[in-house]
Amino acid sequence: MIKLSVLLLAGTEAHSDLARVLNALELTKEAKEAGDEVELVFDGAAVEWIPRLNDPEHKLHPVFNAVKDRIAGACEFCAGAFDVKAEVKEAGIPFLSEYEGHPSIRKRIAEGYQIVSF
């Protein structure tokens, strides 16, 4: 069985970032549909995408909703640093703070996850 941890780091500044977000969501959705063990992690500037993707009017909202059950969480430190903590909580996304306030990528590797970052 494939074990994937999709790590989304893309910010919101460039048009190309939207493509990176779509690719992360689509990979998560494809793996989910294939029955793989897959999780999506929002880290760094990517935490700013959560309020946008949670908006029903956003064009990527449907695919975001399709993988919401596979979202492991968002970096707690970064959500605070980018001032979106309340919006992340409102979206129902858990906070990850496994290593010094951040998600532990090392832990995921130790658990056998392949890391794919966008």
Is the separation of the CB atoms in 106 and 41 below 8 Å?
A: no
Q: Collect all residues with Cβ–Cβ distance below 8 Å to 26 and sequence separation of at least 6.
A: 63
CA distance 21 to 42: 10
Taking only the tens place, the pLDDT of each residue in 32-76 is 999 999 999 999 999 999 999 999 999 999 999 999 999 999 999
CA distance 98 to 64: 24
User: For all residues of the chain together, what is the average pLDDT?
Assistant: 97
Helix (H, G, I), strand (E, B) or coil at 39: strand
Whether the per-residue pLDDT at 10 is higher than 90: the answer is yes
Return the percentage of the chain with pLDDT > 70, whole number.
Answer: 100
Domains of the chain listed by start with CATH number: 3-117 (3.40.1260.10)
The DSSP bridge partners found for residue 73 are 41
Is the separation of the CB atoms in 63 and 29 below 8 Å?
A: yes
CA distance 23 to 6: 10
pLDDT of residue 1: 81
Helix (H, G, I), strand (E, B) or coil at 11: coil
Torsion, Cα of 65, 105, 97, 40 (10° steps): 0
